[in-house]
Chains A and B, each alone.
Chain A
């Protein structure tokens, strides 16, 4: 007897009787095989791996083909790539930043708004968040770095940028060399974003992770 509370009677707050309650459908084929076993085989993606009996038995073969056809929409559903709409997630994260008091970031002007000959008047700027994201991404590209977080301080009048990079790295690295590579890559990236200026990069190696299983064989 099943110990599923759903089968013991109505559950408070549960929905209406489900489709599955009407679906008995279990039967024994003339060859003695239970149909439910063949269905499980198909649902597990093993319809092509037939036993010696199934290769010979017309009842099993027919039902496997039938189930495979009926099940294909669910196999497609499982394989269908589903991406979360970025705007939805961004809205939620904007709310979180606001709640956390992290919604405003200093802005760094990219150039003077006074146009020279041939230029269109206007201005361009970027927030420290842009620098933070770029720093994180470029730091994670450094071989041996698994994860990176960053904190950026921008002194707008002097265009001096102070970057703190916190990283978790793979075990077995020369940590000083690794940190030097991170500093160099980050400094290059920041300069490419804001132009010449003093860039201070501090690297904090916060954790060491076991090497990934695939790293040894790569």
Chain B
């Protein structure tokens, strides 16, 4: 059997205190991949995208309500991430930067491209349910109603709802992302909740 040749080299550990900072494991790993990607390693970029692609698509889908639009935005964001790597200062976490990128793309699309509301395709084969046909139809109808109600919110209020309610962000994180105060985020979330509940009451 041929011998395995090779070498072992050790790089320098980064300056962060090992075990001293409560930075999340994901943020640390993202930071490493990001540094490699900024150094031109496409594979690192691919891994980074692979870790966040569902998040990008999910936020786009909830913001836009249309699978086609969400796919377009997802592609745009991936390309923009690559071309904008140098511009990312690293002052915020990569996830925060990514959220901002996705939300801004969606808001641009809503403001400039959309004049009609696209009804959601509720027959998604990716999400089979085990319930009976009647329950499935009802579930889909309810999800479709929820998606329609979401689309009826103003873009800014919808953004806060998607970030806080669906993505689980804190008020502070959403406030930083939307460049508004935490009180404004709290207010918009309350209005979103009230509006959505009112819409569901109307439709049921």
Interface residues of A (CB under 8 A from B): 2-7, 11, 13-26, 36, 39-40, 43, 67, 70-74, 76-78, 80-85, 88-89, 91-93, 95-97, 99-100, 102, 132, 136, 146-147, 149-151, 166, 168, 171, 175-176, 179-180, 183-184, 187, 196-213
Tier of interface size on chain B: 35 or more
- Main secondary structure, interface of A, reads mixed
Residues of chain B within 8 A of A81, CB atoms compared: 126-127
A15-B110, A89-B78 as given contacts; A23 in contact with B46, CB under 8 Å: no
Q: Which residue of B lies closest to A96 (CB)?
A: B82
Residues of chain B within 8 A of A210, CB atoms compared: 16, 18-21, 28
In the bound complex, do residue B4 and residue A187 qualify as a contact, i.e. CB atoms below 8 Å apart?
A: yes
Residues of chain A within 8 A of B71, CB atoms compared: 85, 88
Min CB–CB distance B96 → chain A (angstroms): 20
CB of B187 closer than 8 Å to a CB of A: yes
Min CB–CB distance A106 → chain B (angstroms): 15
In the bound complex, do residue A15 and residue B111 qualify as a contact, i.e. CB atoms below 8 Å apart?
A: yes
In the bound complex, do residue A39 and residue B180 qualify as a contact, i.e. CB atoms below 8 Å apart?
A: no
Residues of chain B within 8 A of A73, CB atoms compared: 142-143, 145-146, 200
Query: Which of B6, B78, B143 counts the most A-chain CB atoms under 10 A from its CB?
Result: B6
Interface residues of B (CB under 8 A from A): 1-11, 13-14, 16, 18-21, 25, 28-29, 32-33, 36, 40-47, 49-50, 53-54, 56-58, 61-62, 71, 74-75, 78-79, 82-83, 110-111, 126-127, 139, 142-143, 145-147, 149-150, 152-158, 165-166, 180-181, 183-184, 187-188, 190-201, 204
In the bound complex, do residue B53 and residue A89 qualify as a contact, i.e. CB atoms below 8 Å apart?
A: yes
